[in-house]
Amino acid sequence: MTGQGRSTVDLLLAESLKELAEDHPIEKITIKEITDKAGVIRPTFYNHFQDKYELLEWIIMTELLEPIKPMLWNGMVPQALILLFSTIEKDKKFYTKVCRLEGQNSIENITKECIKNVLLEVLLGKATGKKSVHPWIDPGLIAEYHAQSLSFLVLRWMRTGMNVSVQDMADTYDYMIRHSIEDILKDI
């Protein structure tokens, strides 16, 4: 299948899942419901995704993380954070439902892995031929650390109703990541 064909079907399936999630918990939505709503047959779904959690991962990568990747490559981290939080806020209803997903396929695990992969790609691209100050700190460790912290903050914001502004969330992440616990204790 061509890239365009795959993309169109992926988008149809993603929209279908998002619409169904408005009225049903994601864990209760079936592949049949997704394909019926998208107007495709079940085998088509499995030609694109292993399960609905892989589809959800695709949505997170495509809607949230791919758009911020060029900004990360260019050192525009504050702008990337604002775009990330703004995109989530624009689809608040869907992401509020998504953040309730727990268990083996929890949204926490999915978002951490997606963020880690994007950060690792950028870090490996930027670190070519450079040595770390500390030998045990490698791009994988850095990506995992920041994926953990950013995922935590994003999910906490979603689970508490997204009542804090996008700019305040970006500033909060920036403050927390740039200051040690000792610095923060002094500021309290």
Residues 89, 7 within the same domain? no
DSSP summary character for residue 130: -
- The answer to whether 155 and 107 are in contact (CB under 8 A) is yes
The answer to whether residue 146 is domain-embedded is yes
The answer to whether residue 69 is domain-embedded is no
Residues 95, 175 within the same domain? yes
Residues 182, 113 within the same domain? yes
Q: pLDDT > 70: what percent of the chain?
A: 97
Q: In whole angstroms, how far apart are CA 159 and each of 34, 90, 96, 105, 163?
A: 25, 15, 7, 17, 10
Question: For residue 179, which phi and psi values (nearest 5 degrees)?
Answer: -120, 140
The answer to whether residue 66 is domain-embedded is no
Encoded tokens for 21: 């999630």
What is the C-alpha to C-alpha distance for residues 3 and 130, in angstroms, rounded to an integer?
35
Q: How far apart, in Å, do the first and last CA atoms of the chain sit?
A: 57
Cα 93 to chain centroid, rounded: 16
Residues 83, 127 within the same domain? yes
Q: Is the pLDDT of residue 155 over 60?
A: yes
Q: What angle do CA 178, 60, 28 make, to 5 degrees?
A: 125
Residues 93, 181 within the same domain? yes
Place of tokens 């990360």: 72
Q: Is the pLDDT of residue 6 over 80?
A: no
Task: Specify the pTM.
Answer: 0.88
Residues 88, 128 within the same domain? yes
What is the C-alpha to C-alpha distance for residues 175 and 181, in angstroms, rounded to an integer?
11
What pLDDT, on a 0 to 100 scale, did the predictor assign at position 136?
83
The answer to whether residue 71 is domain-embedded is no
Mean of the per-residue pLDDT values for the chain?
A: 91
Residues 150, 90 within the same domain? yes
Domain limits for position 27: 3-49
Residues 31, 83 within the same domain? no
Q: Give me the CATH number covering residue 9.
A: 1.10.10.60
Residues 177, 105 within the same domain? yes
Q: By mean pLDDT, which of 47-61, 76-90, 133-147 is the weakest?
A: 133-147
What pLDDT, on a 0 to 100 scale, did the predictor assign at position 3?
44
What pLDDT, on a 0 to 100 scale, did the predictor assign at position 2?
38
Encoded tokens for 36: 């019926």
Encoded tokens for 64: 């949230």
Q: How many domains does the chain have?
A: 2
